[in-house]
Chains A and B, each alone.
Chain A
Amino acid sequence: MTRLALSEIAKRLNLHTETFKRWIKQGKIPVTKSGNFGIFNEAELNKWAAQQRSSFRTAGPDEKEENCFVSCPLLSAVKEGGLFKNIEGRNKDDVIRSSVSRLSGIPNNLKSEIYEQIIKREKLSSTGIGKGVAVPHPRSPLKQGLSYPMITTCFPDKPIDFDSIDGKPVFVFFLILTPSIEVHLNLLSKLSFCLRDSTFINFLESGPGFEIFLDRIKTMERCME
């Protein structure tokens, strides 16, 4: 026999407290009430919950891991992705291929898929957003092989024609890989906020080192909040 607060059981069953109390009163759920507590047999309630739509979570509500991916997503994604300079290649496809091959922590077979996906997306319309910057990304979020979102900052050894909207050749591009649409949109919007700032573009043109670059991202992300 387990004894728990009524509101606690209701929460674990994903039920409204009022509904839960009424069900006890009407005898629709194998729980008996004793003051503000409910008494039940765990196995039996599990069985009941399985027959219903909801499931009974035995453990307490899983607290969301408090990590930097929640508090400052852009900084952690940029950190995860890394920064590469002097990417070789004569055209768009070449630089993308060589930057994808430099990605760390991703199996090789996935790399070729990522490359194809990115090229497919580029064919749809160029991700060159002007001012010499591009944000290439796969057409749809990666379903597997990626546990954290990553933004890889790449500087080609010479500016590349990217079919950008303003026709300017691209001197830096950010490769965005995310596990879900929400994260993708969030990162993209934050990144574009940074790129709207012309001082940031100038900063990028100076070809900063990774540490200085991260510091700049950190301050800019703080500004957004």
Chain B
Amino acid sequence: MKWFKFWRYPGKFDFYRSDDRLLLIQIGIVVGVLSGFASVGLTWSLSAMLDSFAPFRQLWWAFLIPALGLMLSSLFLEKIMNEGAGHGVTEVIYSVSKVGGLMRLRSCFSRLISSCLTIGSGGSAGPEAPVVMSGAAIGSNIARFFNLNERQRITLVGCGCAGAISAIFNAPLTGMIFSMEIILGEWSMVHIIPIAAASVAGAETCRFLEGNRIAFESSAFHITSYDMAACFGLALIAALASVMLTRMLRKMHHISVKIPVPFWLRAAIGGAIVGLIGFAVPDALGEGYHTIHAMIHGMYTAGLGVAAVACLTKIITTSLTLGWGGSGGVFAPCLVIGSFAGIAFQRLLLFAFPTVMWSGEGLFALLGMAGMMSGLLQAPLTGLFLIVEITGSYDVMVSLIIVSALSTAITHYFEPTSFYLKDLIDNGSLLRPGTDQRVLSDISIREVIETDCIAVLPDMLLKDFVEIVKKSARNFFPVEDQQTGRFLGIINLNKIRPYIFNTFLYDTVVVEEIMDSDPEVVFYDDELSDVLQEMDSKNYFSMPVISHARFIGMVSKATLLDKYRDELKAQTFHIV
């Protein structure tokens, strides 16, 4: 029986103790394969659902299909799974930065089902974020099963995300980079290797089940210097589109929460509007991968106006779907919007400079996608590598770099935080490794408290107090009530220094008269970052800590610096 339990504690095996990388690689491969299965499962069920609804698309009541899908999806998430709506990536980042990568077991499949309902019925959203959440939950729960510590669990969450992205796009490099750039926010050796292993495992699983296909294979482009110049304009267009999508998503959410109807009805209304828009612009429905195919291969025939309208419509349907209660990610819609923007820009160029030989609309669609992705996610590398891998065109690398970098920079000007991180930053729960907030949030007051202060009674004479001063190593003396032990005030030696050498006062002054009876205090359960902020704003070097009206100890900046350094070193130990 003991042996039976023992294998669930691989962290304690002598073999893995000195270096757990091998353990993480092995478990990471398992996580990668499982997230690969999750992503292939979602892709298959999505295409099955889209196929089965295809015959009804032309009927007049077809707009009710997305309504029903969104309603079921939101009901499923809220009532059955007890999870809020949303794309899932934010939840994963939250769990990594706040709770050491802990995720619920049900998250392994909850988003898969809800996003399948949303997207399969025609809602405009992407399957990637749900798969990422599912992969992350798989990694986290496997780590919990094997009783791994937080650092190892976070690595496995990263492995799950990498496996999921690499499986759904058949893009192992993107999986790795996505995981490091967006989910974990740190590039450390100890993470890279297991994540790379998981990424490859995810991609191989997908290739084994679906064959090695490149999602949007494109023909080679002949890129001229005119095209290069056009990149700058395209980056601007893509950046504007991503700013528009970010703001629209937020606005739609604000509008939807103000409507006084139950959440499922709200989702249904959103779905119905999406369905109605779909009559006019069918490209704006679903994940939209077939549209991207057409655009990259130069088979998209519509002109400037239609492409621009389609781009705007897709932004609206996506924000309606996600903002009103649907479930899914922004990856796929982002690609669609980006390629529409690219096509529209190319049509504009054709109109403006009819004599120039442009390289073909496929290139612009592709660059538009990269610009859009990098702008929205504030992650230029993810956007860049995703496009290179899913289109298989390495010859467009230079133009991709220009568009990705520029678009990230321009979007950053308008929207300084990425779409995924906005909410987390707003409520202060984004804690990237090695940052000030991270270090402070890890240390608790109980770890830095100094308890060697000597308490004095309020009716003590100054003469007796001086004797106490002789014995103490501290400058602060809490005054406590004799009967109840309640904290009454504090004596700061620095403030009374001029008087304690005056022997005439020794028998006439009592402690109560020299104490600060209303000092600024902090409480035992306060966050250290708040305490420090308080100290900084008031220019204090130490403050008394109170719990239930009793004095516990002092917290001082000097001790804090000591602990802070320890913590920072321990935290960044594995990064080098």
State whether A52 touches B149 (Cβ < 8 A). no
Contact call B565/A25, Cβ cutoff below 8 A: no
Q: Are B570 and A28 in contact (CB-based, < 8 A)? A: yes
Report the separation of the CA atoms of residues A26 and B100 in the bound assembly, to the nearest whole angstrom: 8
Q: Is the CB of B152 within 8 A of A18?
A: no
Known contacts A52-B570, A53-B566: does B447 contact A16 (CB below 8 Å)?
yes
A48 contacts which of B17, B563, B573 (Cβ < 8 Å)? B573
Cα A96 to Cα B274 in complex, Å, equals 103
Q: When the two chains form their complex, are residues B17 and A18 in contact, meaning their CB atoms are under 8 A apart?
A: no
Q: Which residue of chain B has its CB nearest to the CB of A24?
A: B149
Interface assignment of A32: CB less than 8 Å from any CB of chain B = yes
Which of B148, B443, B444, B569 has a CB less than 8 Å from the CB of A52? B569
Residues A1-58 near B (CB distance < 8 A)? 1, 15-16, 18-19, 22-30, 32, 34, 39, 41, 44, 48, 51-54
- Are the C-beta atoms of B563 and A19 separated by less than 8 Å? yes
Q: In the complex, which residues of chain A have a beta carbon less than 8 angstroms from the beta carbon of B100?
A: 25-26
Residue B550 interfacial (CB < 8 Å): no
Docked Cα-Cα span, A26 to B442, in Å, equals 10
The B contact surface, by secondary structure, is helix
Whole-angstrom distance from the CB of A43 to the nearest CB of chain B? 9
A-B CB contacts (within 8 Å), total count: 59
Size band of the interface chain B makes with A: 20 to 34
CB <8 Å contact, A32 and B12: yes
A52 nearest CB across to chain B (Å): 5
B11 sits at the interface (CB 8 A): yes
- CB 8 Å contact bits of B559-576 with A (1 = contact, 0 = none): 000010111011101000
Inside 8 A of B573's CB, which chain A residues have their CB? Answer: 28, 48, 51-52
Interface size in chain A (residues, C-beta < 8 A) = 24
Question: In chain B, what residue has the closest Cβ to A54?
Answer: B566
Contacts A16-B447, A26-B150, A30-B17 given; does A53 touch B569 at CB 8 Å: yes
Most interface-central of A22, A24, A25 (chain B CB within 10 A): A22
Other than A1-B14, A28-B570, A32-B17, give 9 A-B pairs with Cβ distance below 8 A.
A16-B448, A19-B447, A28-B151, A32-B11, A32-B12, A41-B17, A44-B17, A51-B569, A54-B566
B250 within 8 A of A: no
Q: Which of B1-40 contact A (CB under 8 A)?
A: 11-12, 14, 17-18
State the CA gap A83–B536 with chains docked (Å).
58
A-to-B contact residues, CB < 8 Å = 1, 15-16, 18-19, 22-30, 32, 34, 39, 41, 44, 48, 51-54
Mask for B505-528, Cβ within 8 A of A = 1, else 0? 000000000000000000000000
Interface residues of B in 414-465 (CB under 8 A from A): 442-444, 446-448
8 shortest A-B CB distances, which residue pairs?
Answer: A27-B149, A27-B151, A28-B570, A26-B150, A16-B447, A19-B447, A18-B447, A32-B12
CA separation between A44 and B150, bound complex, in Å?
20
- Distance, CA A67 to CA B149, complexed state (A): 47
Q: How far is A1 from B567 in the complex, measured between Cα atoms in Å?
A: 25
B residues near A (Cβ < 8 Å) are 11-12, 14, 17-18, 100, 148-152, 442-444, 446-448, 563, 565-567, 569-571, 573
Taking CB as reference atom, which chain A residue is nearest B565? A53
CA A24 – CA B12 in complex, angstroms? 12
User: Which residues of chain A have C-beta atoms less than 8 A from B443's C-beta?
Assistant: 19
With a CB–CB cut-off of 8 A, which chain B residues contact A30?
A: 17-18
Which chain A residues border B152 with CB–CB below 8 Å? Answer: 27
Residues of chain B with a CB closer than 8 A to A1's CB: 14
> Which chain B residues lie closer than 8 Å to A54 at the CB level?
566
Residues of B within 8 A of A16 (CB): 446-448, 563
- Return chain B residues, CB-CB under 8 Å to A52: 566, 569-570, 573
Q: Is the CB of A18 within 8 A of B149?
A: no
Complex-state Cα separation, A25 to B573, whole angstroms: 15
Nearest A residue to B148 via CB reads A27
Residues of A within 8 A of B11 (CB): 32
B571 CB contact (under 8 Å) in A28, A32, A51: A28
Query: Chain A residue with minimal CB distance to B149?
Result: A27
B565 neighbours in A (Cβ, 8 Å): 53
B11 to chain A, nearest CB (A): 6
Q: Which residues of the partner chain A approach B14 to less than 8 Å between Cβ atoms?
A: 1
A26 touches B151 (CB 8 A): yes
When C-beta atoms are compared, the residue in chain B nearest to A16 turns out to be B447
* A159 vs B563: C-alpha distance when bound (angstroms): 59
Inter-chain contacts of B569 with A (CB < 8 A): 51-53
Docked-complex contact A29 and B18, CB < 8 angstroms: no
Name which residue of chain A comes closest to B563, CB basis: A19
A19 / chain B contacts, CB cutoff of 8 Å: 443, 447, 563, 566-567
Q: Determine the distance from Cα of A16 to Cα of B451 in the docked complex, in whole angstroms.
A: 13
Q: Once the chains bind, are B570 and A18 in contact (CB under 8 Å)? A: no
A18 touches B566 (CB 8 A): no
Residue of B149, B152, B443, B448 with most partner-chain A CB within 10 A:
B149
Question: In the complex, which residues of chain B have a beta carbon less than 8 angstroms from the beta carbon of A39?
Answer: 12
List of B residues within 8 angstroms of A26 by Cβ? 100, 149-151, 442
Complex interface: chain A residues within 8 A of B571 (CB) = 28
- Closest B residue to A44 by CB, please name it: B18
Nearest A residue to B572 via CB reads A28
